[in-house]
Amino acid sequence: MELRAFAEQVLFATTLEEKLQTPDVITDERPGTAIVVPEMPNRPANLTFKPHATGKSEFPGLHRLEDATERGKLLHFFGNHELLATELMALVLLKFPDAPAAFRKGLFQTLKDEQEHTRLYMARMKACGVEFGDFPVSGYFWRCIAPMQHPIDYVAGLCLTFEQANLDFAGHYGRNFATVGDADSAKLLQKIYHDEIGHVAYGLKWFRRWKNPNQSDWEAFCQTLKFPLSPQRAKGFSVNVEGRRAAGLDPQFIAELNVYSQSRGRTPSVYVFNAFTEGFLAQGKKFNPTKLQAQLARDLENLPQFLCRQDDIVLVRQKPSVEFLSRIKQAGYSLPEFAATDSVADLQARKLGSLRPWAWGPDSQQLLKPIFASVSGEKRSAEQRFNANLAELYSKAWSADLLRKIISCRRRGDESQNFLASQSEQSLLTSAPTISWLCSENEVGIAVNSLSEAQAVIAQIRARGHHKIMVKEAYGVAGSNALRLFEPELLPHQLRWLENTFAHERQLVVEPWLERVLDFSVQLEMTATGLKLCGYTGLLNDARGQFQANFAESHHHKRIPTRIVSLFTEPKDISSRLLEFYDQIFAVLAAELRRVGFVGPLGIDAFVYRDASGAARLKPIVEINPRYTMGRVLVELMHQSTQASCGVFRLLNQAQLRAAGFENFPAYARMLAEKFPLQMEGEPVPRIREGALCLNDPTTAQTCLGIFHVTRHLASLVP
């Protein structure tokens, strides 16, 4: 029988008997001319592809495999995949008659294997009480592979993608069949596994012959695949290294595949670490981060990978190394897809769920504007994503005004002063007027817009007994753009700083310097249905107010850190009172956010300080950050720690590195791995019990290294 006639029989026959017939003798003397690709192969009516975009077929869960019919249904899925493979191989023979004879001969041998696999699956599903055609079947494989323009598209798409993935799926499902006592199905999947090793090896041989010799296997593979196919489709639940090595794939290819991520169907959201929104709000297009600030942002640009879900997209200038991502995956964290920040427009063809920058501002709005139209999960205009009302939320003056309003209502208990709109907010008005543990209105910052206003407010504050004063720009990058006034009179350089700030029409906030004991933060998410509490974290800042570290106790998702609560000696029920007070703040804040149309992440910075008598007092809002924060990163990191563990997230800078006696970040990372190895526990999903994990790549870090340290004893890390 001529190979062409055989291929036509497989592709165009309308019965399974004809499709699965294998000739004893085959010749390839008349390959003929290339055919036009049909919309779909001919099939029996009960095996015709279900209409495209009608939803996924119900895939039987592994927890139901004890039921024979459910096993048959699973085998039905597999049988359709094998039949699709035979039809696609027949299409290759008919579409590329001029392909090398050795390639066509090898393809015929593989096609015979797929026919046998189909027959074996049919026999097993029948033993389970299921006939081939009892359930709807998908044509996904056909839609992905049939448009191929060259045989390399076939070997990349079928052999190195779908068949490579079967190296994982065959073993996984085989073990599950064995677990429920179906030894025959387990044995069949073991045979499929061994055959797939040969099929992948065959595809790899020809792929290497046709690919660009200047590219690695991995580079050529990624470039050859056409959307919706991606390397993500080339692996299952876990990567079977042994099977891939047996097929001839090199270690670098396997390592790259292991850490590769792209959505298989879930609409991904897009994340980016834009760290300088406040700077752009303060200075507009004139803002230019310092060299140190810019490098720090580059070092930490992958941090959003701990905020997003698997298959989401994180924009980066440089993708983290395979070695680094492998360690993150070993710690139990799912990996996102990484895309180039300077190629955002390439995502226009993708269907996207939502846009989640670190902060919405003029910078992120400009960066993400090319893909606004691709977002299907949230229909918001550019103006709705960021506008003047939303910009106001970044102002320290706005935070101060909100705190003043809350304290005023709490202390007066005056229902006649209707400062707050909603009924839930009215609870603030009826609370007891005397709160010994709360700061006073006099300790809240005041916004000023001129030198004369600033001098007047400074004089007022000092007249009340606060001689030390802090002056901050209303908009500014964390810890910068601030001035301490500890001397009795303004010094010349302080006066020049104030004059220069006002000359640039920037607003300042003047407030008493308070002797803070311990900072903490509240992490929240504003959704369409209201404000959601994500967790409380302790906060450690340096003398300039810049972030150094934060910590989360085991109960962080619902309670204020014990270290904060323990600073108050009275009242006895201070813990519940603090939580109740913050619930009331959340009600006020939610109304304000709803008014301006804000949705997304935000954090509240707060601290406990000592008053003149030495008593602990709470400043419940220092500033509100309407964006992601390092505290939110820690809250998300803690999802992968065990329930009884505590966590610390810190940034190690160059000065701290040298003080610890290390020359570079890789050396420090090696010390962490040796001294604090990750200890995992729990089933079926192991979580971190103890140990340290680097959060950005130590080999490329220049200014700082992010470290997540999990422990059962917080005092060992935070004295």
- pLDDT digit string (tens) for 631-682? 999 999 999 999 999 999 999 999 999 999 999 999 999 999 999 999 999 9
pLDDT greater than 90 at residue 520: yes
User: So what's the pLDDT on residue 27?
Assistant: 95
pLDDT band of 421, cuts 50, 70, 90: very low
pLDDT band of 92, cuts 50, 70, 90: very high
What is the C-alpha separation between 33 and 7, in angstroms, rounded?
A: 13
User: So what's the pLDDT on residue 699?
Assistant: 96
Using an 8 Å Cβ cutoff, are 185 and 117 in contact? no
User: How are beta strands 469-473 and 337-340 bridged, if at all?
Assistant: unpaired
pLDDT band of 524, cuts 50, 70, 90: very high
Distance between first and last Cα of the chain = 82
What is the C-alpha separation between 11 and 16, in angstroms, rounded?
A: 11
Domains delineated in the chain: 3-19+59-259 (1.20.1260), 270-386 (no CATH), 440-513 (3.30.1490.20)
User: So what's the pLDDT on residue 424?
Assistant: 43
pLDDT band of 58, cuts 50, 70, 90: low
Token representation of residue 128: 């389970």
Write the pLDDT tens digit of every residue in 256-271.
999 998 877 789 999 9
Give me the phi and psi of 667, to 5 degrees please. -65, -40
Helix (H, G, I), strand (E, B) or coil at 606: strand
Helix-, strand-, coil-residue percentages of the chain, each rounded to 5 = 45, 15, 35
What would the mean pLDDT of 469-485 be, rounded to a whole number?
83
Write the pLDDT tens digit of every residue in 36-49.
999 999 999 999 99
Token representation of residue 404: 């003043």
The average confidence (pLDDT) of the chain is 91
Using an 8 Å Cβ cutoff, are 707 and 693 in contact? yes
User: So what's the pLDDT on residue 384?
Assistant: 76
Write the pLDDT tens digit of every residue in 554-571.
999 999 999 999 999 888
**H/E element, 483:** strand 482-485
Beta strands in 253-352 (DSSP E): 270-272, 313-316, 337-340
pLDDT greater than 70 at residue 61: no
pLDDT greater than 60 at residue 694: yes
User: So what's the pLDDT on residue 376?
Assistant: 86
**Residues, the chain:** 719
User: So what's the pLDDT on residue 399?
Assistant: 96
Those residues whose C-beta lies under 8 Å from the C-beta of residue 310, and which sit 6 or more positions away, are: 261, 334, 335, 336
pLDDT band of 410, cuts 50, 70, 90: low
What is the C-alpha separation between 124 and 139, in angstroms, rounded?
A: 22
pLDDT greater than 70 at residue 420: no
> What radius of gyration do the chain's Cα atoms show?
32
User: How are beta strands 337-340 and 313-316 bridged, if at all?
Assistant: parallel
pLDDT band of 459, cuts 50, 70, 90: very high
What is the C-alpha separation between 39 and 439, in angstroms, rounded?
A: 73
Q: Is the dihedral of CA 335, 340, 344, 345 positive or negative?
A: negative
Least confident range of 58-67, 130-139, 258-267, 703-712: 58-67
Those residues whose C-beta lies under 8 Å from the C-beta of residue 714, and which sit 6 or more positions away, are: 551, 553, 646, 648
pLDDT greater than 60 at residue 236: yes
pLDDT band of 492, cuts 50, 70, 90: very high
What is the C-alpha separation between 387 and 360, in angstroms, rounded?
A: 9
User: How are beta strands 482-485 and 355-357 bridged, if at all?
Assistant: unpaired
What is the C-alpha separation between 4 and 8, in angstroms, rounded?
A: 6
Task: Please return the burial class of 528, using the count of CB atoms within 10 Å of its CB with bins 0-12, 13-18 and 19+.
Answer: exposed
pLDDT band of 34, cuts 50, 70, 90: very high
Those residues whose C-beta lies under 8 Å from the C-beta of residue 505, and which sit 6 or more positions away, are: none
What is the C-alpha separation between 631 and 357, in angstroms, rounded?
A: 16
pLDDT band of 478, cuts 50, 70, 90: low
Q: What percent of the chain has pLDDT over 90?
A: 82
Write the pLDDT tens digit of every residue in 172-227.
999 999 999 999 999 999 999 999 999 999 999 999 999 999 999 999 999 999 98
Task: Please return the burial class of 38, using the count of CB atoms within 10 Å of its CB with bins 0-12, 13-18 and 19+.
Answer: middle
pLDDT greater than 70 at residue 14: yes
What is the C-alpha separation between 628 and 308, in angstroms, rounded?
A: 12
What would the mean pLDDT of 241-257 be, rounded to a whole number?
96
Q: How far is CA 611 from CA 141, 606, 664, in A?
A: 70, 16, 42
Q: How far is CA 169 from CA 159, 340, 445, in A?
A: 14, 31, 61
What would the mean pLDDT of 86-100 be, rounded to a whole number?
97
